Structure 1
Amino acid sequence: MKVGFIGAGSMGSLLVEAFVSAGAMQPADISVSSRTPSKSAALARRFPGLLPAPSNADAARGADLLFLCVKPSDFRSVLDEIAPVMRADQIAVSITSPVRLAHLELLLPCKVAKLIPSIVNSARSGATLCMWGSRIEPEDRAALMELIGAISRPVDIREEDVRAASDISSCGPAFFAYLLEEFTEAAARQSGMDRETAAVLAGEMLLGTARLLAEQGFTTQELQSRVSVPGGITAAALQSLRSSTAGAFPALIRVTHEKFTEDLNKVEASLFQNESQEGRP
């Protein structure tokens, strides 16, 4: 299977590296285009055999599967460039959540899907959010699920749930990295512990906690009750934590949803700015 990538930024490069490292793709089967040619050239140096494509149309033309790893504001220009060369049997995959499947199907002649990755996929972990266009056949879905399964756990979601799901799977690493940083910094400041030691302890703690939740069937409530003895240190600290963070996560979700709605409107305007409103989905 020939695979094209349009965009060699942080997520495009991460996916190329993850798929190749997992053995799910061979460099000789990959072509990459980028508006910054040095980025695709860097990938070619890291993965001999990978082909830097001179244009987005070149990356699309020979690909059975094409990953669109570009910013929402760049989608219209990219779609205009690739639509004339794409065939009905090809699959275009957007990794950009504010771009709707219905809009992609309107502007491209091929099959389309939306797969939202996470930075933790680079460690062959985490989830990939999977949404399918109306032209995707069962065999297409199975092939994509197998491919994504090499670097993550594929999870089907409704497109209308993509924002909340992305908050957890894709934004979550940043949120919890921030919390972990605050936690370790406080421990180091209060005790005088070396910060590097605190960071190692915190990382191992988070890894072990994730394994208990993902591999051993623990719930978050069970973990709290197992660690927190009534009247003990952890119980007292948990109560303080609950009080100080009350309302923080609902506020976080509100912010992400408001920004997402803003992005949806901007993307729709950019995709259809030169067309009449008639016939739009």
Structure 2
Amino acid sequence: MKVAFIGTGSMGSLLIEAFLRSGALHPHYICASNRSPQKAELLAKRHPGLRVTGSNAEAANGSQIIFLCVKPLDYLAVIDELAGIVDERQIVVSITSPVQIRMLEERIPSKIAKIIPSITHSALSGASLCIYGSRILPEDRLLLEQLISSISIPMSIRETETRIASDIASCGPAFIAFILQQWAEAASRLTGIGRAEAISLGAEMLYGTGKLLTEGGFTPEELQRRVAVPGGVTAEGIAVLDSGLSRVFSSLIEATHRKYDEDLVKLDGLFNPPSGGTADREERA
């Protein structure tokens, strides 16, 4: 099965490396293209057999699955480049949350899916958010989820849930890392423990907590009850968190959704320019 990756920036490279490390894909079956060819060529040097092409169309031609790993505002140019190349048998996968499935289905004949990855896939873990277009058949979904399962847990969601699910699954590692950083710096400043030691302790704690919540059968509420003995130290700490964090996550969600809505407006304008816009002027010319 030939798989193409259009865009080998941060997330495109991460996915390629993860699929190769898991053994789900072999370098000889991967074709990559990138606006800056040096990035793709570095991947090819690290993984002999991986083919780098000079154009997106060449990468997509003959590929069963095509991952689009480019920035949202670059999608239209890439899709227009592929429009005359891809067909109804191929699966085109967008990894970018604000690009809507309908935008792609209106412009190319391929089967369309949206799969939002996470940096956690570098450790062959975390959740991939899966959304399927109207042309995806059950066997297409099975194929995609078998591939994604090699590096993550595929979770099917509605497209309307993309932003909030991405906040948790994709942005979450950065949010949690920021909290751990702040916690470690406060611990070092107030108690004298080394910052590196505090971060190491916190990282191991996060790893163990994740296993308790995923494999140990605990819910967040049950885990709190087991650790926070009434009147104890942990209970005192939770009281502080409860009073200080009650508004933080609401504000976080409001901020990410506001930015997401701004991106949607930009993409709608790009894919559906107003009458008299650039597309009309070019057509009249």
Which TM-score tier does this pair reach, normalised by the shorter chain?
Answer: over 0.9
Q: Distance in 1 between matches of 2:156 and 2:145?
A: 10
Match of 1:279 in 2: none
Verify: 1:139 aligned to 2:139, yes or no: yes
Is the contact between residue 115 and residue 130 of structure 1 (CA under 8 Å) also seen in structure 2? yes
Deviations 1:24-75 (A, max 9, x none): 1000000110001000001101111001110011111121100000001000
Is the contact between residue 99 and residue 267 of structure 1 (CA under 8 Å) also seen in structure 2? yes
Deviations 1:71-101 (A, max 9, x none): 0100011011111111110010000111111
Verify: 1:262 aligned to 2:262, yes or no: yes
Deviations 1:154-192 (A, max 9, x none): 000000110110011001001110001111111111111
Match of 1:161 in 2: 161
| Corresponding residue SS for 1:85 | coil
Verify: 1:229 aligned to 2:229, yes or no: yes
Residue 275 of structure 1, CA deviation: 5.3
Match of 2:184 in 1: 184
Deviates more, 1:234-243 or 1:151-160: 234-243
Is the contact between residue 75 and residue 271 of structure 1 (CA under 8 Å) also seen in structure 2? no
| Corresponding residue SS for 1:86 | coil
* 2:63 alignment partner AA: A
Q: Distance in 2 between matches of 1:117 and 1:126?
A: 9
Residue 118 of structure 1, CA deviation: 0.4
Deviations 1:6-34 (A, max 9, x none): 00010000000000100010000001100
Q: Distance in 2 between matches of 1:194 and 1:148?
A: 39
Q: Distance in 1 between matches of 2:18 and 2:105?
A: 28
| Corresponding residue SS for 2:96 | coil
- After superposing on structure 2, the runs of 4+ consecutive aligned residues of structure 1 that deviate more than 6 Å are none
| Corresponding residue SS for 1:107 | coil
Match of 1:105 in 2: 105
Is the contact between residue 92 and residue 111 of structure 1 (CA under 8 Å) also seen in structure 2? yes
> What is the RMSD computed on CA atoms of the aligned residues?
1.0
Verify: 1:22 aligned to 2:22, yes or no: yes
Q: Distance in 2 between matches of 1:115 and 1:269?
A: 23
| Corresponding residue SS for 2:83 | helix
Q: Distance in 2 between matches of 1:79 and 1:241?
A: 46
Match of 1:51 in 2: 51
Q: Distance in 2 between matches of 1:148 and 1:115?
A: 9
Aligned residues: 276
Deviates more, 1:22-31 or 1:181-190: 181-190
Match of 2:118 in 1: 118
* 2:133 alignment partner AA: G
Q: Distance in 2 between matches of 1:192 and 1:231?
A: 26
Q: Distance in 2 between matches of 1:65 and 1:97?
A: 18
| Corresponding residue SS for 2:115 | strand
Q: Percent identity?
A: 53
Match of 2:283 in 1: none
Q: Distance in 1 between matches of 2:192 and 2:116?
A: 41
Deviations 1:79-128 (A, max 9, x none): 11111111110010000111111111111111110000000011111100
| Corresponding residue SS for 1:150 | coil
Deviates more, 1:187-196 or 1:159-168: 187-196
Query: Which consecutive unaligned segments of at least 5 residues does structure 1 have?
Result: 277-281
| Corresponding residue SS for 1:67 | strand
Q: Distance in 2 between matches of 1:62 and 1:52?
A: 14
Match of 2:242 in 1: 242
Is the contact between residue 53 and residue 59 of structure 1 (CA under 8 Å) also seen in structure 2? yes
Residue 5 of structure 1, CA deviation: 0.4
Q: Distance in 1 between matches of 2:215 and 2:268?
A: 40
Query: Which consecutive unaligned segments of at least 5 residues does structure 2 have?
Result: 281-285
Q: Distance in 1 between matches of 2:244 and 2:28?
A: 53
Q: Distance in 2 between matches of 1:236 and 1:109?
A: 58
Match of 2:39 in 1: 39
Q: Distance in 2 between matches of 1:195 and 1:168?
A: 26
